[in-house]
Amino acid sequence: MATGPKETARGEGGGEKSAPRYVLPAIPTAAELQEAIARMTPSESQQAFRHRVLPIAWEPGRVAYVAAGERAKTYAAGQGLTVSAVTNERTLLRELQRGRESELIYQAASGLKERFPQHSAAQGFTADQALWLVFGIGLIAFAAMWDRPTAEVAGFSVMLAVLALVAALDIWCLLPARLPKAPPLNAIPDDGLPVYTVLVPLLREARLAERVVSVLGTLDYPKAKLDIKLVLEEGDRATLKAFEDMRLPSHVEIIMVPRRAPETRHKALNYALTFARGDLLAVYHADDMPPADQLRRVAGAFALAPKTAVCLQSQVVFYNRHENWLTRQSAIEQAVRFKLLFPRLARFGAPLISGGAACHYRVAVLRQLGGFDSHNLAPDSGLTVRLARFGYRTALFPMLTRSEAPCRHKEWMARRVRAIKGALQTALVNTRTPFRMWRELGSRNFLLTQALTGGAIIVALLHPVFLVWFALAFTLGAIGQPVTGRLWLFLLALYGLVAVLAGLAALAISVRAALALGRGFGWAMALATLPVYWLMISLATWIAVLQFFTKSRRWSKTAHGVSRVKPQSAQAGKAAPSPSPSPPTSKPEMKPAG
């Protein structure tokens, strides 16, 4: 690139600085692009990341831009920018990633921690939490040595209260929730539709590459307003090659995420979020199969909803639910979550804990609140709780997204352990400032959130312990050995009553959910053996807690596409009943809760 006399150019913050005046070729070289990237201001960086337009040369009274692709040239023309050079999108993306590598990685991994540290799971226990934990353990040990019977009764009573809270939640799920209709298909004409970004995180998914592209190709949305990012991990050459061997349409782009800690799905999503040009964003997993018209309907739902509704969770159903005992159990659990629990939570504006798949967001608010928590292993990275704490709402969207249930014990256990570790991280984040969280969520939603995170973990941990206790108590009682005193007998009877109520409520909601999934011997056996599945959940919880305290918090990859049941092609969406909560009318004040 030829250089002429020195002219003034804009520097950081719009100031003036000395820079070469360029005589531009048609296509700038990599070195010239890197020189331009190094001079970008923060606003110019955002423009380059999202729209692939960046300033490359300055002359008195005029700035010349380079644009990558027809879409970038159209954007530049709409903004009144002078395009004097062009390049292809892949080249500019590669140079942007290379020139701003440190910034991109830092924002993806630590952006939330820097802006809202109290909402980040980067730190397990805070100093205050560690102090309270040590104090609690010491108090229990001292009480056990000083007056063991009293300490046992007190501990038993606390655990009984936790069980009662979870039992009340189970019974609460049986109450009916008002269910709205699906939004109209053409609520917004094509020319009024917003740009929609779709992020699909993929790791070692070469075998599903063709299916992923096929499913995404069925989405009924104007291609000029569709921005699909296939988010791949650096070093995953097999998956990259599988996609490169295809002829991907112009609105589908591959984003390679550098391998840096933490290696989690949410860090990859944060990295890709920087390059998203849409006003709305959807996250689909490799095995998700959304209906063709889902994006249109969600865009219409967002347009009709208050601005405080920033996340829509579509219902997820398993297409291979009839495959075996494990898929039936997973399907029952999923149906309980999406058909009974989530409608009740959404009606009262409570966070939809353990969502995450097939979610849709308003991009501006998502960025404003720090994006995803790259350190949190929960399916939603704790995002729904954070949204609620800032005054925003998550609503259920009445359309079904089909997905694959884990059909092998290995995949089920890995996925469950990972989710429970994420729930534990979310519980720790939520107890850093409990009184502030109580004020932000209100009493009801605060208790619901604690019951669904820490409470569920405690109950799962104690379930096998109490089973062993009862077995020993009644076995020793049968042979005439002294078991307990009168107070212990009363507490055991009370625990038994609460446990029976909880079990009956859990069974009732499971039966209610299973009836919508299918009939026959297989489903009857699945319901009859639910206690076995609950013990499997307890085992996964113990493994998750042990791994959490031994610092094993990495993302455990699980295989997709291993089911013998092959899904049918994606069809236009069926409406599924779900509530549409009425968010508060006042706009939330953006104040960190930490």
Alpha helices by DSSP H, 173-264: 209-217, 237-244
pLDDT of residue 25: 54
DSSP state of 396: E
C-alpha–C-alpha distance, residues 121 and 140, integer Å: 27
Report the percent of the chain where pLDDT is more than 90: 52
pLDDT of residue 515: 67
pLDDT of residue 156: 72
C-alpha–C-alpha distance, residues 465 and 459, integer Å: 10
Q: By three-state DSSP, how is residue 17 classified? A: strand
Please give the residue that has the higher pLDDT: either 170 or 255.
255
DSSP state of 320: T
Please give the residue that has the higher pLDDT: either 466 or 293.
293
The mean pLDDT value for 256-283 works out to 96
The answer to whether residue 191 scores a pLDDT higher than 90 is yes
pLDDT of residue 349: 84
The answer to whether residue 591 scores a pLDDT higher than 70 is no
pLDDT of residue 45: 95
Structure tokens at 546: 């042990």
Are the C-beta atoms of 421 and 544 separated by less than 8 Å?
yes
Q: By three-state DSSP, how is residue 306 classified? A: coil
Are the C-beta atoms of 56 and 118 separated by less than 8 Å?
no
The answer to whether residue 369 scores a pLDDT higher than 60 is yes
Q: Which stretch of DSSP H or E encloses residue 313? A: strand 309-318
Q: Is the peptide bond before 262 cis (omega within 30 degrees of 0)?
A: yes
C-alpha–C-alpha distance, residues 42 and 417, integer Å: 40
Structure tokens at 411: 């995949």
pLDDT digits (tens, 9 = 90+) for 126-156: 888 888 888 877 877 777 677 667 776 777 7
The mean pLDDT value for 54-74 works out to 89
pLDDT of residue 399: 86
Q: Which stretch of DSSP H or E encloses residue 488? A: helix 486-515
CA distances in angstroms from 457 to 166, 508, 534, 543, listed in the order given: 10, 21, 12, 12
Strands (E), 130-251: 196-202, 226-233
The mean pLDDT value for 215-232 works out to 97
Structure confidence at residue 468 as a pLDDT band (50, 70, 90): confident
Cβ within 8 Å of residue 10, ≥6 positions away:
16, 17, 41, 55, 58, 63
| Average model confidence (pLDDT) across the chain | 84
pLDDT of residue 583: 40
Residue with tokens 């009293």: 150
C-alpha–C-alpha distance, residues 119 and 276, integer Å: 23
Structure confidence at residue 13 as a pLDDT band (50, 70, 90): very low
Are the C-beta atoms of 43 and 52 separated by less than 8 Å?
no
Are the C-beta atoms of 318 and 403 separated by less than 8 Å?
yes
C-alpha–C-alpha distance, residues 333 and 271, integer Å: 32
Domain ranges of the chain: 2-99, 115-594
pLDDT of residue 22: 46
The answer to whether residue 23 scores a pLDDT higher than 60 is no
The answer to whether residue 401 scores a pLDDT higher than 50 is yes
pLDDT digits (tens, 9 = 90+) for 407-457: 999 999 999 999 999 999 999 999 999 999 999 999 999 988 988 888 889
Residue closest to 199 by CA, chosen among 114, 119, 267, 131: 267
pLDDT digits (tens, 9 = 90+) for 317-356: 999 999 999 999 999 999 888 888 888 888 888 898 866 6
> Of the ranges 72-81, 177-186, 239-248, 253-262, which one carries the lowest mean pLDDT score?
177-186
Cβ within 8 Å of residue 40, ≥6 positions away:
48, 54, 55
What per-residue string of b and e applies to 269-299 under the rule 16 or more CB within 10 Å gives b? bbbbbbbbbbbbbbbbbbbbbbbbbbbbbbb
Look up the pTM and report it. 0.87
How many CB atoms are located within 10 Å of the residue 575 CB? 17
For residue 102, the number of C-alpha atoms closer than 13 Å in the C-beta half-sphere is: 1
pLDDT digits (tens, 9 = 90+) for 558-574: 888 899 998 876 444 44
Cβ within 8 Å of residue 553, ≥6 positions away:
262, 375, 377, 421, 425, 547
Phi, psi for residue 252 in degrees, rounded to 5: -110, 125
Structure confidence at residue 485 as a pLDDT band (50, 70, 90): low
C-alpha–C-alpha distance, residues 408 and 406, integer Å: 6
Q: Give the alpha-carbon dihedral of 398, 283, 187, 582, to 10 degrees.
A: 50
Please give the residue that has the higher pLDDT: either 307 or 154.
307
The answer to whether residue 486 scores a pLDDT higher than 60 is no
The answer to whether residue 480 scores a pLDDT higher than 70 is no
Let me know if 355 is exposed, middle or buried by CB neighbors in 10 A (0-12, 13-18, 19+).
Answer: buried
pLDDT of residue 59: 76
The answer to whether residue 38 scores a pLDDT higher than 80 is yes
Domain 115-594 coded CATH 1.10.260.40: no
Report the percent of the chain where pLDDT is more than 70: 83
